[in-house]
Chains A and B, each alone.
Chain A
């Protein structure tokens, strides 16, 4: 009850008075909760949308059979249909098509056998269409297509209208034969779905005689697992027979890696919030030290003082968290489309039309906001309760909290660093543990900041202080007075700079390594592709026929055009990338020598040799060595390949298998490719050849025709985009560092009001006072900056080893000299800027008021 009185009569008034501080704390927690809720809701919405689309697509099929990305022979349908317990085995072509009319929208094209497909999927057509897709019409006229009512309304299409769609065979015209009501598969992918006859789809999308999957429905009373096993037994190895739930789980796992990165941002945001709350409560305790003394003197117990600050924090956190939940939902609503697009382009085709909200993420956001705020406020609140009433009411100068002695902090530092090494020792460079180990390491080093600051100031006092006059001497002395508090600000700078240097070192090394690798593998002058040249996952790429190389080689100036197919296949239950290229073309132009990549030994790829090279990631994940044999599933059954070498290949982190394209075509029967590596004849102008290719082939299909330099620039741009998160992280951490310095110095100035008044009284100029405070700030910044740079170098290397080398293969660590120089300049410069606010307050100290303070 008395706590309620305290909150009502003391806290509420402070909350109204300290608007700037409260705003900062509320903003910090609100930001964190917003991030947690928005990222959580967006993640959930994407998964939900994928599941929803998937379930609509699969209809009432109980099992789904899939094989290589290139498709598999139609003959498999009969084998499945013959399995006891199978009611219908329904073939499906599922591919991307690009609507050339309107906004060049990508859509999912379902090629179905209209005679049997309605047994597993419901199609309902709008009133103006026929009742059901007319099989006769579909079979007789292969240009027939059904689109959804939603797409028709959006694009302004009507029945019988002709639309143009980019296919493997180029841009083709289709006639709309009906509009699908928003039900069943037509509601999937946000309505971006079109249905064609399976035969027409096979022709248009280069899959003649092949299908992408078979949806299976079971006879009544059949056991799902028994039938599944029977189907697996009936098929050659390498086919996946899974339930819809199993398929969605696979995709969820694939997306999880990407989503984890965003989760990390939300955790970081909540850490920022915690730091701001810690600062707000700390400064409040310093600011209200006398009030605490008075309350203690007239009978307020220690625990009541502590609860007072905890109660205030709870009030702030409830407001901030509620705001954060509301903002998070708003943000999720506006981000979900863009996020879904990224997932769609990078991982799996999906279309997210809105957010899917359950109580879970708002509840997690609220709880996280409140719990982290209370944890952040705990230490300053505890220190408030230890304020002695006698010293506070008589304004005895502040003395350090004896709980955090330098010795105890050093011991804490040793403990955390030891814990970090233990994690490294046990788990190595495994992702989440590496992150935890790095956090432990950073926390451990930050515990040494008081000792480091002490040494730094000693050095400053001995070498520089006297050269800077009274300001130098006073700054050195002041920093030592409240070593622990100042060390918190130094630790904030340390943290900010270490993240900056680590992130710069990582980015610098990844970019350097990747571009070097590209230099070693891209020996052609022109790269031609049907989708974004940097896409490694084939998402939304409409393949090209491999025999287009013959047409390309007719272009004046083209020496050779080597098709490059990148398709996914299953290997031991995981999705790996098959990268097949025409290596016989290389000797024509490989006069400049082979790089470290798969060019090293051309003889590995004799077309009939059944030899492959694997990426380091593949070798590591599946424990495969040079000389081993691996069995790959092909549409005709498993084929054994000999591993001729292990090479650097950063295309796909789950593993890459390189092989000759003729070998690939022979076993997979896939005559498509994603791109062509075009070699230009000596003396021909690359730009002219490129323009001619674009002129000849760009009319019939959307193409990316880039010179090698443009291609590398695209990759460079893509890498830069990929690292936007790192740049954002730098800005956030450096901002926190500045806030930390402002708060520490502000508190320090408040505590020294009387001292500053005395200095002014005996003749110190305002600008001298200003100079002392700014100098203190710069010193704190430099101390944190130099410690942070060292930690950042170590952390950057660890990140490279843990997040790049461990998943993609060996890489060189490039010391980020520029970033280190920037780090030191930034730490000094930003600290000077941060110090100006408290310095102004100190310089404006009213002598009479300051001396009357006691």
Chain B
């Protein structure tokens, strides 16, 4: 499902070159739930952005669902993000001007689908994440946990090949975090491939496999005990 081959990423900070990722390679099968862990600055969010096509590697190759993310135009990369990847961010990143159902339907709206055809699916997804009664609420009228549920529903609206979660519980209290992680686990059990970046070992344990990063390199790639990988 995901192939990362010899990927490196360097940034220019002022005149200084920063090596965020260094020659990383790994693969993921369909239906896996991988947690990427590491201390701050280890490159885990950079790796997630590369897998999601938000950023492009300085070297190496990445494939998602058979599609290469390298050597393609920005438009092609964007369409892969739109159709094959679902994003969940730490700060939810919902559009404050849209209602919950409109936020959920946004990726399909971008594809030119009329909202009348999206509405039913958006409402169903909101019901699945426990927000069936909040479809008309704007983000400012929702709690942090509820906003993250809307973000999850939005990530699922295009039936993506992979769900990418960047510190999805980083901005939530422990009780709500538990609920969100349970939700992700259930999605994975239903067959959804998930990559989650976290620095929280408890959160990481909800995945089936943990990849640890340090200074831009993989230091460990292990299965979570008790999980069938």
Contacts and interface: CB of A to CB of B under 8 A. Distances in A.
Q: Which of B94, B110, B115 has the most CB of A within 10 A?
A: B110
A394 B79 CA distance: 21
Interface string B68-82: 000000110011011
Given A17-B97, A390-B49, A297 B109 contact: no
Interface stretch (A2-10, A101-109, A352-360, A658-666): A2-10
Given A10-B97, A290-B93, A291-B95, A301 B115 contact: no
Contact of A299 (B49, B83, B89, B115): B83
Interface string A392-419: 0110000000000000000000000000
A298 B112 contact: no
B97 A298 contact: no
B interface, size bucket: 20 to 34
Interface in A247-294: 290-291, 293-294
A532 interface: no
A389 B110 contact: no
Contacts of B97: 10, 13-14, 17
B178 interface: no
B112 A13 contact: no
Which 7 residue pairs spanning A and B have beta carbons closest together?
Answer: A299-B82, A1-B112, A2-B112, A5-B109, A13-B97, A299-B81, A301-B78
B107 A299 contact: yes
Given A296-B78, A301-B75, A301-B79, 13 more contacts: A5-B112, A5-B114, A5-B115, A291-B95, A294-B93, A295-B106, A298-B87, A298-B110, A298-B154, A299-B107, A302-B78, A390-B55, A393-B93
B54 interface: yes
24 contacts: A2-B110, A9-B98, A9-B109, A14-B97, A290-B93, A291-B95, A293-B93, A294-B93, A294-B94, A294-B95, A295-B95, A295-B110, A297-B81, A297-B93, A298-B106, A299-B82, A299-B107, A299-B110, A299-B111, A300-B78, A300-B82, A388-B55, A390-B55, A393-B54
Contacts of A1: 112
B109 A6 contact: yes
Interface of B: 45, 49, 52, 54-55, 74-75, 78-79, 81-83, 87, 89, 91, 93-95, 97-98, 102, 106-107, 109-115, 154
Contacts of B74: 301-302
Task: Identify the interface centre among B49, B95, B113: most chain A CB within 10 Å of its CB.
Answer: B95
A388 B55 CA distance: 8
A296 B83 CA distance: 13
B110 A6 contact: yes
Interface in A572-619: none
Contacts of B89: 393
A1 B114 CA distance: 8
**Could you say which of A293, A299, A303 has the most chain B C-beta atoms within 10 Å of its C-beta?**
A299
Nearest to B97: A13
Q: Tell me the interface secondary structure of chain A in the complex.
A: helix
Nearest to B90: A394
A297 B112 contact: no
Contacts of B79: 299, 301
Nearest to A1: B112
Contacts of A296: 54, 78
A14 B97 CA distance: 7
A157 B201 CA distance: 103
A394 B94 CA distance: 13
A304 interface: yes
A298 B82 contact: yes
Contact of A5 (B49, B55, B78, B110): B110
A457 B201 CA distance: 50
A301 B78 CA distance: 6
Nearest to B111: A2
A393 B154 CA distance: 16
Interface string A358-398: 00000000000000000000000000000011100110000
B102 A9 contact: yes
A405 to B, nearest CB: 16
Interface string A15-34: 00100000000000000000
A393 B166 CA distance: 12
A533 B58 CA distance: 80
Contacts of B78: 296, 299-302
A570 to B, nearest CB: 68
Contacts of B81: 297-299
Interface string A460-475: 0000000000000000
A390 B110 contact: no
B54 A297 contact: yes
A575 B9 CA distance: 78
A290 B111 CA distance: 20
Nearest to B114: A5
A160 to B, nearest CB: 77
B115 A390 contact: no
Nearest to A291: B95
Interface string A148-188: 00000000000000000000000000000000000000000
Contacts of A293: 93
Most buried by B among A10, A295, A300, A301: A301
B145 to A, nearest CB: 16
Contacts of A390: 49, 54-55
A2 B118 CA distance: 13
Contacts of B82: 298-300
B115 to A, nearest CB: 7
